[in-house]
Amino acid sequence: MERFKAAIFDADGTIIDSMYVWEKVDIDFLTEHGIAVTREYSDAVRGMFFKTAAEYTKNKYGLDESIEEIMQTWLNMARREYESNVRSKPFVREYLEYLRQNDIKIGLATSSDPYLLEPVLTNNGLDEYFDTVCYTSEVGKNKRFPDVYIRTAEKLCVEPEECIVFEDIPEGIEGADKAGMYTVAVYDRASEKDMDYLRKKAKKYIFDFSEMLGENCNGQE
């Protein structure tokens, strides 16, 4: 791969240490309804659109709340955590600064919600680094598909093959790979069980962004 012109990052679990929030929301929400959280449920809702996850939860457990009420409750619970406690992962800001100093365009491709993402980026001083943000809701497909990555590249005015993508989950690595981009899997506790697959599927695997500092902006050591 030649020198890349743009770096595209996932948000949750990749640059911000936030995956615990959704575990907490799942546990707190279902516990309030007298329901135990199972691995089956957690695996099922992972990577779903927010509304799809609410529909799934309502139908699976026969909840009285409307889809909209469930979604708003989840957002309010998560927002409190994102505003107060969620922090960026190690060496993220240093690497973003390194990219900026090397004139690399920087994009964010995320399934998150602006209501949650904007305050946590601002609180951690990361918002200033991103040239564009693209949400999966814009393209109507989740991260198993290449659409959100291709759209982010378009916004950055670069070709897909000129991009390096950082993701923490298999779905993200698969989607970015389908887009023809260089993929780097980033360790996160929530996706630890997928580590072997991520190591095989991604072009590179890192435990934190200190491993990317000082490289020659081509994804290679």
Q: Name residues whose C-beta falls within 8 Å of residue 154's C-beta, 6 or more positions apart in sequence.
A: none
Radius of gyration of the CA atoms of the chain, in A: 17
Please state the rounded mean pLDDT for residues 57-78. Answer: 95
pLDDT at 148 over 60: yes
Query: In this structure, are residues 162 and 4 in contact, taking their beta carbons and an 8 Å threshold?
Result: yes
pTM for this model (two decimals): 0.85
CA 81 to chain centre: 17
Query: Please, which pLDDT band fits residue 48 given cuts at 50, 70 and 90?
Result: confident
Query: In this structure, are residues 182 and 4 in contact, taking their beta carbons and an 8 Å threshold?
Result: yes
Please state the rounded mean pLDDT for residues 37-58. Answer: 86
Please state the rounded mean pLDDT for residues 9-18. Answer: 96
Question: Residue-wise over 172-189: b if at least 16 C-beta within 10 A, else e?
Answer: bbbbbbebebbbbbbbbe
pLDDT digits (tens, 9 = 90+) for 102-127: 999 999 999 988 989 999 999 999 99
pLDDT in the model for residue 1 = 38
Going from the N-terminus, what domains does the chain have, and what CATH number goes with each?
A: 6-17+87-211 (3.40.50.1000), 19-84 (1.10.150)
pLDDT in the model for residue 47 = 65
| Rounded CA separation 170/201 (Å) | 8
Please state the rounded mean pLDDT for residues 182-207. Answer: 96
Least-confidence region, from 35-39, 72-76, 193-197: 35-39
